Structure 1
């Protein structure tokens, strides 16, 4: 009888652990979804600013080319100020590469190319 009670207690513990893991996994999934949504919202806002900028440029264009009248001052572009977006969720930014201390190694030529060069060493011209 105690053997069955021990197995039931162990099974209950495993079921509880599985439920906790599932809850944590779903919570993490919701967090990732929220981060992705925020990131994509910022991307859409940047794309909308770009489209608006391109529309403004197209409106200034005339049939014969770019408008030459100076009545319209060049408006400041939304792209003059760089916007820093956070790295996409799950993709940390790459660290910068350290500079190389040693010079690049010389590349080896194929043996057939070296033999061709030797064949033309006897050419008088």
Structure 2
């Protein structure tokens, strides 16, 4: 009878340990999620400050007259893609404009020209006639 009571106590201890580990794992997950959210929020704020700074610099250039862009429009930044989304189904400006040439299976692949060897170049310069 004591064997059963001992096994039951050991099983209860294992169940308790498993529950404690699960709670710890969940707590660590929440902490990681909170830290990553805070980090991403800071990254977004830094990116917004950078874009604002770039726009201010562009405006100062235009106002002071040393900008090469005379259109009076604000130059596009890396975060703004003019023309993207103007039309439904429009491709982004970085999308390829032409389709790649289809490869024929019968046509052998072209080989790249090899550079002449150092000996061949030496022979050309040491030519006696």
TM-score by length of 2: 0.45
TM-score by length of 1: 0.46
Q: Larger relative contact order (C-alpha < 8 A, sep ≥ 6)? A: 1
